[in-house]
Structure 1
């Protein structure tokens, strides 16, 4: 008769424990919970996009100072008056700025979409913030490039009875929102039409209610 084997004799020999290898230094692999590297990358790209869009506001200001209608003024020895009391030059200046800002919003959003080929909330926010900053920068640049805001000194310089151009001003401050609104709408439309699509399943998904889950083959 043979002695019964103990349970430890029936088990295969245990393999020595192998510690997990740590990522090598300089490999670029980082382990951070919550997708922190991806969020940091999107944040950096968003800041760069907002700055690039805002800087283009200088071009908006140049075009506005060039295309906006002038407000003719005339002075006598005591006061300065509008040459055309029913003129619509001030409204035309606001409309010109709004149209240019809207066009800049569409163009900047289209360029960013062509470069990135994807959407997302951070990208939309970057376009909105950059568009608002660009509109403000364009407004300030246009006024700086336009006629001097010192109307009295300008009237004394040209003399009494001589028509001169009044300062370029933006009466309707709501026109500053034309750029960010146009940029957000354009980005959303382009993402919906040409953005990446989720992969479609070949057939209908039937849930498994049996409670048995077979391991994958291979």
Structure 2
């Protein structure tokens, strides 16, 4: 008969053995660990606003070039529409909206391709820059379009001779077409092809292997002994 062996004493740890305990908190990673950094994002946002504002010149030129002209005519005393049943009067607004939507979609895609990391500053820059580009295009169209001095132009054209009406943007809501299109395209591309955040590390204690249980002392006959 052999004497029962005393199990080795397990080192004391502060970790509880309850498998249902709450996992420890995982410390948050610094802001710049997975992205370009706040300073870089702000700089990219400023460059985006400036670039979009310059691009508004393209929209203004296209608006002047593609907008259907509204013919006016004078009888020597008053000025009125030469074609009262024509739809040219609403063509300026529709042309501006379509061109602004196209420009917004293109710039939203370009910003995503150049700055895939995105970030809140870049999204805000798209909205502000798109609105600023629309304002630049609108004011540029008024400058390079037909003059707004209708009386002087009617006298210069002569009685019974048609001339173009001033270029106007009656629906000021058209200025929002560019930023809306840019944001929609950029957010859609970010959701589909943008970088994914890394999965958080598994909390310690949930997937860790269970520590082996110490062998229970047995008597000389191989029967486990209960706690003394």
Runs of 4+ in structure 1 over 4 Å off: none
For residues 33-44 of structure 1, what are the structure 2 equivalents within 5 Å?
A: 38-44=37-43
Q: Give the paired residue count.
A: 178
Q: Which has the larger radius of gyration?
A: 2
What residue in structure 1 maps to residue 3 of structure 2?
Answer: none
CA–CA separation in structure 1 for the residues paired with 2:197 and 2:60: 41
* Aligned twin of 2:141: 142
Indicate the SS of the match to 2:118: coil
Match of 2:205 among 199, 205, 208: 208
Partner of 2:116: 117
Per-residue CA deviations over 1:46-91 (Å, capped at 9, x if unaligned) read 1111110111000100000000000000001110011112221121
CA offset digits 1:19-49 (Å, max 9, x no partner): xxxxxxxxxxxxxx986x9322211211111
SS of the aligned residue for 1:144 comes to: helix
Superposition deviation, residue 118 in structure 1: 2.5
> How far did 1:199 drift?
3.7
Looking at structure 1, the residues matched to 100 and 31 of structure 2 have their Cα atoms a distance apart, in angstroms, of 38
Distance 2:45 2:200 in 1: 33
Contact preservation (8 Å) 1:119, 1:188: no
Matched with 1:132 is 131
Q: TM-score, normalised by structure 1?
A: 0.75
CA distance in structure 2 between the aligned counterparts of 1:73 and 1:198, rounded to whole angstroms: 60
Q: Could you say which residue in structure 2 is the equivalent of 1:176?
A: 175
SS of match in other structure, 1:56? helix
What residue number does 1:22 align with? none
Within-5 A mapping of 1:182-201? 182-199=181-198
CA–CA distance in 2 between the matches of 1:153 and 1:194? 56
Residues in 1 aligned to 2:44 and 2:200: alpha-carbon distance in whole angstroms: 33
> Residues of 2 paired with 1:177 and 1:50: CA distance?
15
Aligned to 2:105: 106
| Cα-Cα RMSD | 2.6
| Contact 1:90–1:171 (CA under 8 A) maintained in structure 2 | no
Measure how far apart 1:198 and its partner are.
2.8
Q: TM-score, normalised by structure 2?
A: 0.72
Q: Deviations over 1:146-185 (max 9, x none)?
A: 1111000000001000001001100100000000000111
